[in-house]
Structure 1
């Protein structure tokens, strides 16, 4: 378990570093804006620096904006996810302060695409290892644990505000390149992690009772057990069906590997869930 935490911490560090590189070497010099809280911090930094005598960095604002949602996650989600997510935010803020803002290319399109891709690789690998880069990912996790509410509307609203504000204040060309960045980063995150917000896992195992108990004690999800028989071995088994969010996939995979490495697991995207999704 200690080795797992070490690997997870290493991934979080690399993810934060890639995020900061994408920002300071591509997006910020080109005035192209990232998505979510990072883009909001970037926009606020530009506005506040212009109207006040102080230079308020993007890194500092990223940290400040994430403090309230981190406190919320600590109360509603759990310690492990919250701790690693906050470590990711702190490291990203540190790297944003450490890495100088400089132009790698004067081509705004290259900056928008490469900045988005590099930052998205950092976000994607962080999500894949059961943490987040803060901001809207934490809000999504909280909503998935408290109520089955889609986070897409919040992501769309915040990114729309960022894009329109950038266009109004700094020129509509910047807004259009921001959209290019958002598209590129979204595609990369989906390729690395998973496109679907909800996933259905079908787990075929002879250790169904132990798996059910551990999954239910770790995740806020109900499980349906279905009797099954392997046609090749003619052995009686059980199929566990559980619907999870994309943020819980790492924990589910870890539980299955620890309890029954020989289990057959099929993970599928889920379009919609009707009825009770969360466990009261």
Structure 2
């Protein structure tokens, strides 16, 4: 049932992503973020400046092939498989849904296109999957070393905005910024845009929870003694840092081992020291 639910969420996310592109962003020449925006931009450049015509959906699929292969080797089969399913479904719906503007107002297209795409991305992330592209790159980087992942996201989006501005006018580039802002805010509300999160788990089943987390997430953690203020019960607090892609699995592990545990999730601005211990 969990797998079926996850695939349904991925399906709905792919539909929302395709609708946001074909009905809002592509007709207005406003660009999304990450690999989707790169595919949009490449499609526009090929269609406008060369005799080659390739759709955004096909380019999105092609861009994700090398990243998917790398993710399969470095990240894990399940995460990469769900990501590739998301990319494949998005490509399918981009080919099926016609490119047609619902409004001539570029601001409405930028806002609603960004919001719809972000709703799809947010729920996909919340259910432990991803939309591929930069999500897989972020996971690979987090597995290799604690690198400033936000720099890579910023660099790719900056390249999209600058290229769009030079080729299609700076007004389109500014509206692309509006789309990126709306997307980031909506994803923040539904899930989180922060790449790393700190989980502080107060539990009476510290050893069992520690073993389950180590078995499934391969994460280090710090154990601290804790005492419940109301009943005076002796407990433990497990403190650990996870990526946003592992939040879904962590939640399920906690509910499975100790449904009564109290967990506080906070955004992590930076880390000094070891983040992950590879086998």
Provide the residue aligned with 2:67 in structure 1: 69
SS in 2 for 1:56: coil
Question: Do structure 1's residue 24 and structure 2's residue 29 form an aligned pair?
Answer: no
State the distance in 2 between where 1:236 and 1:176 align: 55
Superposed, which structure 2 residues align to 1:169-188 within 5 Å?
Answer: 169-188=167-186
SS in 1 for 2:225: strand
Question: Do structure 1's residue 99 and structure 2's residue 78 form an aligned pair?
Answer: no
Deviation for aligned residue 1:264: 1.2
State the distance in 2 between where 1:173 and 1:234 align: 61
Deviations 1:125-183 (A, max 9, x none): 11111111111111111111111012111111111111111111111111111111111
SS in 2 for 1:203: strand
2:54 to 53, 56, 79: 56
Provide the residue aligned with 2:141 in structure 1: 143
Provide the residue aligned with 1:163 in structure 2: 161
Deviation for aligned residue 1:80: 1.6
Deviation for aligned residue 1:10: 0.8
Following TM superposition, the consecutive aligned residue runs of length 4 or more in structure 1 with deviations greater than 3 angstroms are none
Q: Gapped runs of 5+ residues in structure 2? A: none
Provide the residue aligned with 2:206 in structure 1: 208
Conserved? CA contact 1:145–1:220, under 8 Å: no
Deviations 1:225-265 (A, max 9, x none): 11222232332222111111112111100111111111111
Using the size of structure 2 for normalisation, the TM-score is: 0.96
Equivalent residues, number? 278
State the distance in 1 between where 2:146 and 2:187 align: 22
State the distance in 1 between where 2:197 and 2:51 align: 49
State the distance in 1 between where 2:111 and 2:229 align: 50
State the distance in 1 between where 2:177 and 2:264 align: 34
SS in 1 for 2:161: helix
1:44 to 38, 42, 45: 42
Q: Gapped runs of 5+ residues in structure 1? A: none
